[in-house]
Amino acid sequence: MNNRVYNFYAGPGALPLPVLERAHAELFNFQNLGMSVMELSHRTPQMQMIIDDSAERIKQQMGLGDAFEVIFLQGGGSLQFIMIPLNLSRPGEAIDYIDTGHWTQRAIEEAERLPRDVAVIATTADSDHNHLPADLPYRPEAKYVHICTNNTTTGTQWRSLPKIGVPYVADMSSDFLARVLDVAPFDLIYAHAQKNIGLSGVTAVIIRKSLLADIPDDLPKLLDYRTHIDKRSNYHTPACFSMYITWLMLQWLEDEIGGVAAMAAINEQKAKLLYDYIDNSSFYRCPVPEEYRSVMNVVFHLETAALEGEFVVAAEKAGFVGVGAHRTRTGCRVSLYNAVTVEAVEALIAFMYQFEKGK
């Protein structure tokens, strides 16, 4: 489709053209039911199949085995900021957080609303969050340590995690199913779908079964993970169309890309192309040291804020959207989620070269 732009938004992000084409083809008549998937009751076998098959595909792609449950919730990552401490701790208990930018700060703020002993055990605020902490002085009595594996606003990503002796809780919203990952250190993983595996409206939560017995019994049912596990992510009406797109995305990842390992190689290739160009240019500058750089979100600066604004405007006119920084920061940002192609990155680099040449 010649009229499509190159989409580098940080979320909701790009969708693969084959997924859009299949959704378009099935829009009016899903599985010969004579209606759209948007019209299906959430109680139909077809919708439950979409949910169950999506959970099974995630388990297979991540090698989860029987030790974990996979559920799909609403409320984005933001709802998980409060559900996690409610489910995994009780009043007065210790919970530890690592501050690496905007979204971890949001998670900390929500946890501090509860009567919990919240500690920020490491922060990178002193360097404007352009690196990751070397040490995690967790408290042995902590119920968990919360970490964000990829920081969309600051362009940093944990490539390996320090070993700790308490459960790891991870916000993986922006690198979920985008790289090969050892799940052994994690006890709870959450990721909203709108970056790598679908639309807004669906959040995948992966929780180790051994944690379920300690969830407090006095939680509202809607905020209790066990409710959604028991009802197979269908306790109340899910975001049916968003769930359907996640299902299509998971099939695309497996059948057309070849799985997470193949996707990870493509993502590394995209990031290397862009970082190499930036590093070899005196016109663009990445503020993140190489060892901390995100494969998903590449942040960079031009010489002045005015020039950055001009770059963003010119990029959009040329068909490259979503290259402005997060609203809380200056500079530029390019998001390289699963659906962004190598060809899109190559086209962006060509534009960056022409913009630089014209200055």
Question: Which mean pLDDT values do the consecutive 10-residue runs of the chain (359 residues) have?
Answer: 89 96 96 95 97 98 96 96 98 98 96 98 94 94 98 95 92 97 95 96 98 97 98 97 98 98 98 98 97 98 96 97 90 97 98 94
Q: Which residue among 96, 99, 143, 171 is the active-site one?
A: 171
Question: What pLDDT is attached to residue 1?
Answer: 58
Q: Annotated catalytic, 195?
A: yes
Q: Give the active site residue among 103, 158, 247, 252.
A: 103
Q: Is 103 a catalytic residue?
A: yes
C-alpha to C-alpha distance for 306 and 308, rounded to whole angstroms: 5
Secondary structure class of 355 (helix, strand, coil): helix
pLDDT score of 325: 87
At residue 131, the pLDDT reads 96
| Catalytic residue selected from 96, 187, 195, 224 | 195
> Residue 162: what are its φ and ψ, rounded to 5°?
-60, 145
E strands in 113-258: 117-123, 145-148, 150-151, 156-157, 168-171, 186-192, 203-208
Is 171 catalytic? The answer is: yes
Q: Is the peptide bond before 216 cis (omega within 30 degrees of 0)?
A: no
The residues, ordered by sequence, that sit 6+ positions from 110 with a Cβ below 8 Å of its Cβ are: 78, 81, 82, 85
b/e string for 92-110 if b means 16 or more Cβ within 10 A?
ebbbbbbbbbbbbbebbeb
Other beta carbons within 10 angstroms of residue 210's beta carbon come to 11
Q: Give me the pLDDT at residue 329, please.
A: 86
Rounded distance between C-alpha atoms, residue 166 and residue 151, angstroms: 22
pTM over 0.85: yes
